[in-house]
Amino acid sequence: NRNEARFYLDFGPELVSRGVPIARLLHLEQCSCEDLPSENEVRGSSYLFLFEDVGEEYYQTSPLAVSQAHTSLSALAKLHAASWQDTPLLKKASEQLHPRAGYWALPVRGDSELTQMLEFWPRYVEAFCGCDQEYFTSPSTVALAERLAACGRAVAAKLSVTAESPFACLVHGDYKAMNVFLPKDKAKGALLIDFQWTSIGYGMLDVAMHLYHSVLPQGEQVEALLRYYYDTLIQELVTRGHSNAQQEYSWEVALKHYRLSLIDYSRVVFGSFFKDASRFKFETRAENMNVGFH
């Protein structure tokens, strides 16, 4: 992946020097020209990434328990804080990486999923109505895809940033449980991997995707995990010289970013992942740790 190659070559060393816990790259072999101008020209090319073996000190699992989510969110906060409002770095990222972080970004996916969800959702409701008939037959649930499609473009626009935007940072863009190594020694931090969809954005894009895909917290756990991430981020920012971080990036603004990000990520879930969903398919994928809670 060209984006990931550029990330490790042009951004990885600087971020590691800033304390971001990235798996150590030992060798990158480019089997074709990285600077081909057209994405079509680069198709079929390949890269060989050789990383340091983390041995028995780290592991991967999914879904994550709350304590494991704390570890993964702490690593995420370091990534976001290390690039927070760093205009030169973010400008470089916007020019050399994707225009916007996240594989579910509307410019990447296109508008088609906004109409596809109107077809997929009624079939999903029919397939799973037996699980909770009261919920799936309620008018608000039946109209869920229609409401999401109606606001999809506006939400994506609110989450669009430039290198100069307040609160902009580097966003991982695919922060599922299988893209983080957790330490067996709780005194150590997690290691981040897989930067194919990294670029600029709001940090809550990563948080919303991570909780939805890999943790699935219930009830009050959602706000507790958001608070944990927020408090960790603020602490990281203050440590890095943003002394007024909590006043500038208030809890209310962070929560707004999370809610918008959750709606934005839901667009790809409804418009793509729900296609042909069934209880049988869910059951057959239940043990696949790389598949999220959709």
Please give the Cα distance from 79 to 207 (Å, whole number).
12
Type of residue found at 283: E
Q: Give pLDDT, residue 269.
A: 93
Asked if 283 and 131 touch (Cβ cutoff 8 Å), the reply is no
User: What's the CA gap between 288 and 294, in Å, rounded?
Assistant: 13
In DSSP terms, 49 is beta-bridged to 28
Q: Which residue bears the tokens 């008939």?
A: 133
By CB atoms closer than 10 A (0-12, 13-18, 19+), residue 253 is middle
Q: What is the pLDDT of residue 32?
A: 58
**What per-residue confidence (pLDDT) applies to 122?**
94
Measuring CA to CA, which residue among 209, 185, 214 is closest to residue 290? Answer: 214
The C-alpha atoms of residue 86 and residue 90 are separated, in whole angstroms, by 6
pLDDT at 292: 61
Residue 21 one-letter amino acid: P
Please say whether the beta carbons of 64 and 215 come within 8 A: yes
| CB contact burial 254-276 (16+ within 10 A = b; e otherwise) | beebbebbbbbbbbbbbbbbbee
Q: Are 216 and 293 in contact (CB under 8 A)?
A: yes
Q: Residue 202 burial (CB < 10 Å; 0-12/13-18/19+)? A: buried
Look at the pTM and tell me if it is higher than 0.75: yes
Query: Which residues, given as ranges, of the chain have pLDDT below 70?
Result: 31-45, 286, 290-294
Torsion of CA 193, 257, 210, 162, to 10 degrees: -20
Contact 211, 72 (CB under 8 A): no
pLDDT of residue 39: 54
Cβ–Cβ < 8 Å for 98, 199: yes
Q: What is the pLDDT of residue 187?
A: 85
101, 265 contact by CB (below 8 A) = no
Q: What is the CATH number of domain 56-284?
A: 3.90.1200
